[in-house]
Chains A and B, each alone.
Chain A
Amino acid sequence: MQASDRFNINSQLEHLQARYVGTGHADLNRFEWAVNIQRDSYASYIGHGPLLAYFAIAENESIGREMYNFMQKMLLPCGLPPDKEED
């Protein structure tokens, strides 16, 4: 850890990760980052009512169904993780 890190929020990266799941680190790969992005996106869609209504109209679904779908998609938003062969 660098001396500078002692003073800011990054001083406890683990703590940071625990509190903000979406934060990243130097070893994050494309898949993990994408998962975070997807989950954040779905959370955002669900959180903004007008956006949700917009999507519901576009997909011709009820708002509740749309919300349910988004929540389900948050489980595995990008599918199964790729095998880690690069290690």
Chain B
Amino acid sequence: MEIDSDIARVQAERRKAEELAALSVAGGFDTDLYGGFANRYEGYVKSIPVNDADEEELDPTEREVVRKLSSYTAPKSVLLDLPRGENGDAELGFRKPQRIIDREDDYRARRHSRPISPERTDAFALGDKTPDASLRTYADVMREEAVRRGKEETLRLIAKKKQEEEEKRKEGGGAPLKPIKPVQQSAGAVPGPIGPTAGVKRRNRWDQAGAEDASKKPKVSSEWDAPDSTPGPSRWDATPTPGRVGIEATPTPARRNRWDETPTPGRFVDSDATPAGGMTPGATPAGMTWDATPKVGIATPTPKRQRSRWDETPATMGSATPMSGATPSTFTPGVTPLGAADLATPTPGHIALRTPMTPEQYNALRWERDIEERNRPLSDEELDAMFPQEGYKILEPPASYVPIRTPARKLLATPTPVGGTPMYQIPVEDRTQQFDVPKDAPGGLPFLKPEDYQYFGSLLNEKEDEEMSPDEAKERKIMKLLLKVKNGSPPQRKTALRQLTDKAREFGAWALFNQILPLLMSPTLEDQERHLLVKVIDRILYKLDELVRPYVHKILVVIEPLLIDEDYYARVEGREIISNLSKAAGLATMIAAMRPDIDNIDEYVRNTTARAFSVVASALGIPALLPFLKAVCQSKKSWQARHTGIKICQQIAILMGCAVLPHLKSLVEIMEHGLNDENQKVRTITALALAALAEASAPYGIESFDSVLKPLWKGIRTHRGKVLAAFLKAIGFIIPLMDAMYASYYTKEVMVILIREFQSPDEEMKKIVLKVVKQCVSTDGVEADYIRAEILPDFFRNFWVRRMALDRRNYRQLVDTTVEIANKVGTSDIIGRVVEDLKDESEPYRRMVMESIEKVVANLGTSDIDARLEELLIDGILYAFQEQTSDDSNVMLNGFGTVVNALGQRVKPYLPQICGTIKWRLNNKSAKVRQQAADLIARIAVVMKQCHEEQLMGHLGVVLYEYLGEEYPEVLGSILGALKAIVNVIGMTKMTPPIKDLLPRLTPILKNRHEKVQENCIDLVGRIADRGAEFVPAREWMRICFELLEMLKAHKKGIRRATVNTFGYIAKAIGPQDVLATLLNNLKVQERQNRVCTTVAIAIVAETCSPFTVLPALMNEYRVPELNVQNGVLKSLSFLFEYIGEMGKDYIYAVTPLLEDALMDRDLVHRQTAASAVKHMALGVAGLGCEDALAHLLNYVWPNIFETSPHVINAVMEAVEGLRVALGPCIVLNYCCQGLFHPARKVREVYWKVYNSLYIGAQDGLVAVYPILEDDGNNTYSRPELNMFI
């Protein structure tokens, strides 16, 4: 007790003394500088991004910093692994949700029009049995595909004929033919018009005058056909039972075809929909034509059709038979009639309906809900709070009064604007579904977004488990888990994912995929959600294995679009899934599933299928797929099949790269005939595929291409346009594989045609020509003289024109090709030709010139630039630099820097002019200009030093110093960077303004929270502290120390590292005591990151100023009875011993009592940190004769091997490993042997774990020290060899 109070008293005294010291030394705490302790952390981002991914990508400047700082001994593990705030992703809340559909282009959006195909038979599972008629077999699918192709063909012919007739008529000037009325109009029983829908082409029926529609399809499809307009059950004839995704199969004919199947989840039809429910009219190839329709639907006035009115388009509506009041004629065509979202409030019924909504509707719904929430009836408590207590009386409501709670009823109580809507049915109200009331999802389910209701709405129906059938219960269970995966918090997600995986086989493939796949097709899916769902599929694929076979095509339909997603990670994910799928289902099933799509009429389907096939090839090996590919590529039936087959080869080459080499010959062989194919598209793709193969196999494998050289050669002479471009590309990629001699010959041959095509107006051709020129020029056999004489004149005349700078891809390609040519012909030839263009009036063109010059100079230097050219060059660059108006990519800046650095001392005469420009631009009104000027100083500082322009630099230093008041952080950062560059080259002593003036000016800037400013500032301060600390009074350094503490919170690793190092320099400059006191005080703060950085800083101070200056104070601090402080001390010790390495041998005995205490502490973290300190200590002093102390510490570490907390046990195990290194494996083995055969299994497990790591670490060393085992009966355990003695 007495001791405690003594300590407290001493500490209080010291604190007082410190305060006094601080007052006297630092001139008092400037409250406006340092602020009160309480609000010090205001305005900080409290959280830090969870992962360090963003920090791994260093930008060039940071890389520079890293390089400079690489001499510092920074604690890598700690800086990489800084503890972060809890609410790391809070900022995600501000991010706009990333819906996939929003960034899809038209082509990618075509995935929505692909139906999820019904499952197929699994030929393997069936064995010899005949497949059930209700299941689709491969034959069915192929037959349907054939029918579809036939239909397409006929439609095309009809359209063609029509057009011809039309033309003939026009020529004849005859009266226009009366449009043929659609059949269903004469039938009269069908009131609604039929409109062409999203898949216009396919849905037209040929038994009616569909050809007319086909010929004008682009006009008639309106925006309502957009992605989710595919016909679902129309919203007024399905009952609002949300979420019951097709439990009961629709009573469709036994042989279902894919048109019954639904493209969107909404179309998993309920049994209580119309009997003809599953049929999309018009799309059914067999049966069900319009004339036959109303047999069933007649009972109600609503025709029981599947086609919803969403699909209807104004164009056809006009021609529809008017119905009495049924067609809302008041609506302008194009506005969807009767859509619930267009009415005042969407009724719950509408929400519940599982028709997919447009994103706009979702938004409307979201706001709606928000407003509902605010306008809800006031509760009694709220009224009580509002009204005075007396003077009011609460009346009983009349007995007959029933409040209307649901807006649906409110809405329906008033007449709808469209008087009398016979087509509208009042949805049956389900009182349990009050979706307008934001209600907590039951059972700890995550929050439901409005768009989720159509999938997960049924989870909100509280239903007792007993009431549900087992299937229903299972479905509900899956739904819950999926919702948790999709919307839940990370832990929820994790457990749900695990459950789904574990129970995958129990749930069954059908139940799982039936819910997951529609979700994946949902139009409102976001990237993150898709990622999670794809992950679910990936996991369950492993578990389901061969059970997935019937669902392969279903899955492919959903996953294939990922392969062409613009997001790289989505593409990778898609590949992974398909490759797992092919491993699970096997090659035969994959081929059977995808074969029908190979000659699908839709190019989109073929494209994605080809990509999927290439993934299958990479998963199962190219040889496995070769026979199939061969058959497909030589298909006689359709060019589409050949096209797709060859495209698969192309994709394989792109995907697998040089892995195609072993199969190169066979791949080339199976597609070489495509070069002479009758179809132009096949010829093109063949050439492209060859190009891809040659690119993938470069620089090997020319012999495999021998057979195609001739046809290619002939091809480039006979073909024109696109095909020629493709052929040229193939040749361009094959030439680099050739020997020098052949390459030179072939280049000369092809160059004639290339030069002819230089003038082609076709963009694609231009790009390919440039690419081929680049390839040819870079090959060995092509001589510089030849290029100079034959290529350069035409090349520059045709390509170095302003227009080329406007398209980004052309720009890039041209620059690359020019650089490649320059590599052959040298700098002056190229630069001489373009240097005048630096003064061109078009800015993009100047930029292109500058970029080329920069790359050429960076590659080749400036040695062959003569004086005249040099003058022109500098002149041009200065002009271009000054004239730039917008440059976000810093092309001009980089070019300027590169050229000046390459010229070196030759630039001296121009420096005054350059500096004049810079000074003038530093004063510019535009922040961007000022920033660039400062950046330019940073880049040319080294050259200025080379040119001995120190006076000029000093002058620039003063100018920059004057601009330190800059208010734009980006500019300020650049100015600091420029100052740093100048200080670096001219040194501390010669710097103007003098360091003693400069540094105080920097202190307040350290407060700036902008990352770029912080980084440049701390670098500059650190540099001064390192090299010129003596120019600045100690008081100023202390002031800076306080600022630096704040910087330990920076997000960027580079900043934290520079800060920690700066502590070291300052401590060195002004002595460790004051700095240490500041740091030790900082151990008391709450924030973990701050404390960790502080411990690192303490360790660094200890390293720079020798441990003995720091250890006493540090160990004394351990006596403070406060967890954070003690742990901080231990952590500092751990870092300290890590840094000082073998220097630690002098201090082990000093800290051992402290570590003893810590290793016996009740607190886990104490033991953990102490263990890691022991580890570092042991590793540092291994072999230096400190075994006694270490063995002593091992006795304290050892009992902790039974810890279960992951961090603790890890630290303890590592400590044991460290001690193994220092003490030798013998001692640790002896400790181990106590428990290897302990009767308690738990004990044995732990001991074997220790033994295993010991064994892995010192297998050989153990041989000498294994225990002596006595022979036992038949078994010899002894090792007599070790007893041999000579």
Binding site for B on A (CB under 8 A): 2-10, 16, 20, 22-26, 28, 30-31, 33-34, 37-38, 40-41, 44-45, 47, 54-55, 57-59, 77-80, 82
B1255 and A20 contacting across the interface, CB-CB below 8 Å: yes
| Complex partner residue of A40 from B1203, B1262, B1272, CB under 8 angstroms | B1262
B1252 and A23 contacting across the interface, CB-CB below 8 Å: yes
B1279 and A8 contacting across the interface, CB-CB below 8 Å: no
A7 and B1206 contacting across the interface, CB-CB below 8 Å: yes
17 new A-B contacts, CB < 8 A, other than A4-B1205, A22-B1255, A79-B1275, are: A3-B1204, A3-B1206, A4-B1203, A5-B1249, A16-B1252, A24-B1236, A24-B1252, A28-B1248, A30-B1237, A30-B1272, A34-B1269, A38-B1279, A40-B1263, A41-B1266, A54-B1284, A55-B1284, A82-B1274
Q: CA separation between A79 and B1210, bound complex, in Å? A: 39
Tell me the nearest residue of chain B to A31, going by C-beta. B1275
B1286 and A58 contacting across the interface, CB-CB below 8 Å: yes
Q: Given A8-B1210, A16-B1252: A80 and B1263 within 8 A (CB)?
A: no
B1210 and A82 contacting across the interface, CB-CB below 8 Å: no
Contacts of B1277 in A (CB 8 A): 30, 34, 38, 78
Contacts of B1256 in A (CB 8 A): 9, 16, 20, 23
Binding site for A on B (CB under 8 A): 1203-1206, 1208-1210, 1213, 1236-1237, 1241, 1244-1245, 1248-1249, 1251-1253, 1255-1256, 1259-1260, 1262-1263, 1266, 1269, 1272-1277, 1279, 1281-1282, 1284-1286
Contacts of A41 in B (CB 8 A): 1263, 1266, 1279, 1281-1282
Q: Given A6-B1206, A26-B1245: A44 and B1263 within 8 A (CB)?
A: yes
Q: CA separation between A6 and B1209, bound complex, in Å? A: 11
Contacts of B1255 in A (CB 8 A): 20, 22-24
A55 and B1281 contacting across the interface, CB-CB below 8 Å: yes
Tell me the nearest residue of chain B to A36, going by C-beta. B1255
Contacts of A57 in B (CB 8 A): 1286
8 closest cross-chain pairs (CB), A and B: A26-B1244, A4-B1209, A58-B1284, A4-B1206, A44-B1263, A23-B1252, A26-B1245, A34-B1277
Q: CA separation between A80 and B1275, bound complex, in Å? A: 7
B1275 and A25 contacting across the interface, CB-CB below 8 Å: no
Q: CA separation between A60 and B1256, bound complex, in Å? A: 34
Tell me the nearest residue of chain B to A16, going by C-beta. B1252
| Complex partner residue of A30 from B1210, B1259, B1266, B1269, CB under 8 angstroms | B1269
B1285 to chain A minimum Cβ distance, whole angstroms, is 8
B1263 and A82 contacting across the interface, CB-CB below 8 Å: no
Most buried by A among B1236, B1237, B1249, B1255: B1249
Q: Helix, strand, loop or mixed for chain B's interface?
A: helix
Contacts of B1245 in A (CB 8 A): 25-26
Tell me the nearest residue of chain B to A57, going by C-beta. B1286
Q: CA separation between A7 and B1283, bound complex, in Å? A: 41
Q: CA separation between A31 and B1277, bound complex, in Å? A: 8
| Complex partner residue of A26 from B1241, B1274, B1279, CB under 8 angstroms | B1241
Tell me the nearest residue of chain B to A77, going by C-beta. B1276
Contacts of B1210 in A (CB 8 A): 4, 7-8
Contacts of B1237 in A (CB 8 A): 30
Contacts of A6 in B (CB 8 A): 1206
Q: CA separation between A20 and B711, bound complex, in Å? A: 57
Contacts of B1205 in A (CB 8 A): 3-4
B1281 and A24 contacting across the interface, CB-CB below 8 Å: no
Tell me the nearest residue of chain B to A59, going by C-beta. B1284
A46 to chain B minimum Cβ distance, whole angstroms, is 11
Q: CA separation between A44 and B1281, bound complex, in Å? A: 12
A3 to chain B minimum Cβ distance, whole angstroms, is 5
Tell me the nearest residue of chain A to B1213, going by C-beta. A8
Most buried by B among A6, A8, A55: A8
Question: Would you give 28 A-B contacts (Cβ < 8 Å), ordered by A?
Answer: A2-B1204, A4-B1206, A4-B1209, A5-B1249, A7-B1206, A9-B1252, A10-B1252, A10-B1253, A16-B1252, A23-B1251, A23-B1252, A24-B1251, A25-B1245, A25-B1248, A26-B1244, A30-B1237, A31-B1275, A34-B1269, A37-B1266, A38-B1277, A40-B1259, A40-B1260, A41-B1279, A44-B1260, A54-B1286, A55-B1281, A78-B1277, A80-B1275
Tell me the nearest residue of chain A to B1252, going by C-beta. A23
Q: CA separation between A65 and B1282, bound complex, in Å? A: 18
Tell me the nearest residue of chain A to B1264, going by C-beta. A44
Q: Given A4-B1206, A40-B1263: A82 and B1275 within 8 A (CB)?
A: yes
B85 to chain A minimum Cβ distance, whole angstroms, is 22
Q: CA separation between A28 and B1249, bound complex, in Å? A: 12
A41 to chain B minimum Cβ distance, whole angstroms, is 5
Contacts of B1259 in A (CB 8 A): 20, 22, 40
A10 and B1263 contacting across the interface, CB-CB below 8 Å: no
Contacts of A25 in B (CB 8 A): 1245, 1248
A85 to chain B minimum Cβ distance, whole angstroms, is 13
Q: CA separation between A78 and B1286, bound complex, in Å? A: 26
Q: Given A20-B1255, A37-B1266: A79 and B1276 within 8 A (CB)?
A: yes
Q: CA separation between A34 and B1273, bound complex, in Å? A: 14
Q: CA separation between A59 and B1281, bound complex, in Å? A: 9
Contacts of A54 in B (CB 8 A): 1284, 1286
B1276 and A78 contacting across the interface, CB-CB below 8 Å: yes
Tell me the nearest residue of chain A to B1274, going by C-beta. A79
Tell me the nearest residue of chain B to A38, going by C-beta. B1279
A19 to chain B minimum Cβ distance, whole angstroms, is 9
A82 and B1279 contacting across the interface, CB-CB below 8 Å: no
Contacts of A7 in B (CB 8 A): 1206, 1210
Tell me the nearest residue of chain B to A29, going by C-beta. B1237
Q: CA separation between A55 and B1280, bound complex, in Å? A: 11
Most buried by A among B1248, B1253, B1282: B1248
Tell me the nearest residue of chain B to A40, going by C-beta. B1263
Q: CA separation between A30 and B1259, bound complex, in Å? A: 18
Q: CA separation between A20 and B1277, bound complex, in Å? A: 21
Tell me the nearest residue of chain A to B1263, going by C-beta. A44
